[in-house]
Amino acid sequence: MKHYSVSFNKKSRLIKHPETVQPRAEGLHPLQPEHLQARLNDLLQIQNDFFPCFDWTFPPPLFAQSSGPRSIAELFAQPSVIPNRYSVYLHIPFCKTLCSFCYYTVLPGRGIEQSATYVDYLLREMAMYHAPLTGQRCESIYLGGGTPTTLDNEHLARLFDGLHRHFNLTDDAEITIEAAPGTLPRDKIELLKKLGVTRLSYGIQTLDEKMLATMNRYYSVDEALRELRDAVEIIGNVNVDTMYGFENEPEDALQNTLQKFTALGVPCLSIYSLDKQRSVKGKEDFGPPKDEMYLRKIALFQHAKELLAAAGFEPVLQNIFARPGAASYRHQVRRWDNLPQVALGVGSMGYAPRRPYQNYSTLKFYYEHIDAGQLPIMTMDCLSPEMELAREVTSQLRFTKVNTDVIREKYGVALDEVFGDLIESLLALGYLERIGPHLRLTERASYYNNVIPMLFAPDSFKESLLSLPEEYLEKFPVPYVMTQVGCTQSGPIEVNLGTA
């Protein structure tokens, strides 16, 4: 049986340190506060990755997940920590070409010929959520991909008509659409604005023509810049995705690219470090354990941050920077608050209260389930209240910061009591800082940000990792570190929702 997902904790991010001890068969070490600092210090050196990105989840997909829910009532059976609110993620898998580095669920090239049918099914899927969500308000919609702007104007209009009919949007709802160059003529941008789009996320990756030529993306820099100018003029709230860490990358390519975007008045910039592991589809051998680019990527990212700070940008999430007041990023931030998220389309990931779930990732299964009147959900995890709390705390630590007062109000849990010794040790080691009620990872901790947040998982979860095959723990140092650090809870976790 396959016990784990290859998309989690890839070897390259997690080099094994030769001096570390072997996993213990007899269970987790009990908490020893006096040794915690030293143990953390040693074990964190195993982690040798620098990868600020969005593809990180808690709980990690380690164990075989359950199948989908029998009914929509079962999906929404648990209480929400954010009652009467939700968001929507809708996946459009079509792209003009398959970029050489991409690992997303996409149907490039002639896939677009299926768009009329695909939109029909999306509308039917939306209708299934209509009744269960009546009375609740939708605060953001994110159309991602793939490249949603490959859809023609007629299909986009049908899609937005469905979204407005089936989801009860708040007056200030954020509606984002992802786009790629070559799919955004001026009339489409104007239409999107008319349909209610409030934010555009445009993937340009680089303005270096030579690098672009190796990416299997067919457009000119001039064309991309023309579309971008129109988008900034018409929509205003525009994010541009950029990437770095390519082998053929000139030393100053990222800096030059970012400089041009800031000069153009783009209010939000995302910087992705190239993840090569997932670009090579179906490859089981992950290659050399150490990312050759590790130190170079750290330096490139550091320079990029300095450049953006000088241009008046502030970091809003780990790899996203914005001009204060000029850009919004609500959908991404609220994701880490355990806000329910309806998933629409192939391969989409959603979150019903305490039920992370994912749709089928092939059109065949996706269509078949909708034809049978069922939600096209392939897997659904069932989280305990403690694991839901840990989902929020670990994700917020990984990407932003945790407000301990909010956690107390929302879950009735005092983090400083439950994880007191862990927090003190991380503060003393300089990996964590406290700003008023907030806990935040420091710059120093960013090199270990795959694993430090995981230490806030319940001990019972860390204990369960010991039942994984030994070769797994040897290969994937994040769970290895979690088990070797041992217990990190100083007290029991007793979740009591809405105690404020």
Chain residues that interact with ligand SF4, rule: CB under 6 A:
95, 98-99, 102, 104, 106, 145-147, 180, 203
Cβ-based neighbour number of residue 365 at 10 Å = 14
> Quick one: which of 202, 194, 210 has its CA closest to 157?
194
* C-beta closer to ligand SF4: residue 112 or 192: 112
Rg (CA), the chain: 22
DSSP string for 299-356: HHHHHHHHHHHHTT-EEEETTEEE-TTT---HHHHHHTTT--EEEESTT-EEEETTEE
Name the token pair of 182.
Answer: 């070559």
Q: What span, in angstroms and rounded, lies between the C-alpha atoms of 388 and 497?
A: 11
* C-beta closer to ligand SF4: residue 179 or 455: 179
By a kind-dependent CB cut-off of 5 to 8 A, residue 144 interacts, out of ligand SAM, ligand SF4, none, with ligand SAM
Using CB under 6 A, which of the segments 101-109, 124-132, 380-388, 457-465 binds ligand SAM? Answer: 101-109
CB of 147 to ligand SAM, least distance (A): 4
Question: What sign does the dihedral 338-340-345-347 (CA atoms) show?
Answer: positive
* C-beta closer to ligand SF4: residue 181 or 353: 181
Site pattern 226..265 for ligand SAM (x: CB under 6 A): ---------------x-x----------------------
Interaction of residue 307 with ligand SAM, rule CB under 6 A? no
Alpha helices (H) along 372-419: 385-399, 404-411, 415-418
Residue whose Cβ sits closest to ligand SAM:
203
Alpha-carbon dihedral of residues 113, 118, 123, 127, nearest 10 degrees? 170
* C-beta closer to ligand SAM: residue 32 or 248: 248
By a kind-dependent CB cut-off of 5 to 8 A, residue 274 interacts, out of ligand SAM, ligand SF4, none, with ligand SAM
Residues with Cβ within 8 Å of residue 300, at least 6 apart in sequence: 244, 245, 254
Q: Cis link prior to 59 (omega < 30° from 0)?
A: yes
Using CB under 6 A, which of the segments 70-78, 269-277, 334-342, 421-429 binds ligand SAM? Answer: 269-277
Cα of 50 vs its chain's centroid, Å: 16
CB of 264 to ligand SAM, least distance (A): 17
Query: Which member of 62, 224, 274, 304 binds ligand SAM (CB under 6 A)?
Result: 274
Question: What sign does the dihedral 399-400-404-408 (CA atoms) show?
Answer: negative
CB of 272 to ligand SF4, least distance (A): 10
By a kind-dependent CB cut-off of 5 to 8 A, residue 170 interacts, out of ligand SAM, ligand SF4, none, with none
Interaction of residue 102 with ligand SAM, rule CB under 6 A? yes
Query: Which member of 48, 80, 147, 348 binds ligand SAM (CB under 6 A)?
Result: 147
Interaction of residue 108 with ligand SAM, rule CB under 6 A? no
Using CB under 6 A, which of the segments 140-148, 164-172, 314-322, 330-338 binds ligand SAM? Answer: 140-148
By a kind-dependent CB cut-off of 5 to 8 A, residue 98 interacts, out of ligand SAM, ligand SF4, none, with ligand SF4
Residues with Cβ within 8 Å of residue 361, at least 6 apart in sequence: 105, 346, 347, 378
Question: What sign does the dihedral 22-23-25-31 (CA atoms) show?
Answer: positive
Using CB under 6 A, which of the segments 24-32, 84-92, 139-147, 166-174 binds ligand SAM? Answer: 139-147
224 class by beta-carbon count within 10 Å (0-12 exposed, 13-18 middle, 19+ buried): buried
Q: Which helix (H) or strand (E) holds 171?
A: strand 169-179
CB of 464 to ligand SF4, least distance (A): 34
- Residues within window 359-398 making contact with ligand SAM, judged by CB under 6 A: none
By a kind-dependent CB cut-off of 5 to 8 A, residue 353 interacts, out of ligand SF4, ligand SAM, none, with none
Using CB under 6 A, which of the segments 37-45, 100-108, 353-361, 415-423 binds ligand SAM? Answer: 100-108
CB 81 within 8 A of CB 497: yes
Q: What span, in angstroms and rounded, lies between the C-alpha atoms of 158 and 49?
A: 43
Q: What span, in angstroms and rounded, lies between the C-alpha atoms of 484 and 492?
A: 20
CB of 330 to ligand SF4, least distance (A): 22
Interaction of residue 275 with ligand SAM, rule CB under 6 A? yes
* Positions in the binding site for ligand SAM (CB under 6 A): 95, 101-104, 144-145, 147, 178, 180, 203, 205, 241, 243, 272, 274-275, 278-279
